[in-house]
Amino acid sequence: MKRNILSAIIFLSLSSSITHAQIVDKKNLIEKNAQLEKIADGFGFTEGPAVSRLGDVYFSDQPNNRIIKWSFFTNKTEVFMEDAGRSNGMFMDREGNIIACADENNQLWSIDDKGNKTVLLEAYQGKKLNGPNDLYITPSGTMYITDPLYKREYWTRDAVSEQNGEHLYLLSADRLQFMRVDDKLVKPNGIVGTYDGKTLYVADIGAEKVYKYDIIEDGFLTNREVFINRGSDGMTIDYRGNLYLTGADGVKIYNRKGEEIGHIPIPEKWTANVVFAGPDRKTLFITASEGIYKIRMKVYGTY
């Protein structure tokens, strides 16, 4: 009993310190006097925010197997889709479809504005994928998809990889070519690219590194290098090229040189993902465990 009481005291103390931790903004990226605002809570675990052309956000509530829509103009949420394939990472394509990493059955889905789904991928060379986790779509339409292996309680299959590892994949803009573009990763997770489609960042959460790549002709990757020696869950980027990483310590911001220039503490156990939202893409929208948050920025996102 004493141990339980002590654990509770430690947890409350940590929660309090997280709640009262100060925002760090070394480069004036955050709007003056802006405060972190909790939009809503009570979700199972929030992930995968994808931004519509109007600036609204679709995000996944994975344990409850649904996709939720947050309206920028009303600041309210509503259920967009049930039976959402346990969607994790998501991204909006040029046609306004949600591309979702539906790892319930190792698939990649395209979901239209009515909630109708089309399965785009579920295997590589005839073998099941591990469970697509996150993706990024370049301005030209090329998709990059991370495929780590996370054992899920809801899987009815054996949690054994049919692939020979956990890799990074490319799906061509015409969706006719699907190939591996990096097979030297431990557990790839978050992924994002620059607005010009020339640079890609991939978080290898298993190796505690974020890698940087040059994107060349036909989407192939070259010049892989370690951008920073820390992992991340979801990621986003602003027009200056600053990278926003997530995890146990909220949102950390790094400039193009890999120097930490900002920190937005989030009062949750885990911060899973982040994206720029709103018509002007200046609202930083954050998914974190059971809640979703926002804060106004001076800088804007690029997709």
Q: How far apart are CA 97 and CA 213, in angstroms?
A: 26
The answer to whether 153 is annotated as binding is: yes
Check: CB of residue 88 under 8 Å from CB of residue 132.
Answer: yes
Amino acid at 81: M
The answer to whether 130 is annotated as binding is: no
Active-site residue flag, 233: yes
CB within 8 A of 27, min separation 6: which ones?
Answer: 242, 255, 261, 262
The answer to whether 75 is annotated as binding is: no
Catalytic annotation, pick one of 233, 238, 249, 280:
233
Three-state helix/strand/coil letters over the chain: CHHHHHHHHHHHHHHHHHHCCCCEECCCCECCCCCCEEEECCCCCEEEEEECCCCCEEEEEHHHCEEEEECCCCCCEEEEEECCCCEEEEEECCCCCEEEEEHHHCEEEEECCCCCEEEEECEECCEECCCCCEEEECCCCCEEEEECCCCCCCCCCCCCCCCCCCEEEEECCCCCCEEEEECCCCCEEEEEECCCCCEEEEEECCCCEEEEEEECHHHCEEEEEEEECCCCCCEEEECCCCEEEEECCEEEEECCCCCEEEEECCCCCCCCEEEEECCCCCEEEEEECCEEEEEEECCCECC
The answer to whether 196 is annotated as binding is: no
Check: CB of residue 167 under 8 Å from CB of residue 188.
Answer: yes
Q: Which residues are annotated as a binding site for substrate?
A: 133, 153
Q: Which residues are annotated as a binding site?
A: 133, 153, 189, 233
List residues with catalytic annotation.
Answer: 233
Q: Which residues are annotated as a binding site for a divalent metal cation?
A: 189, 233
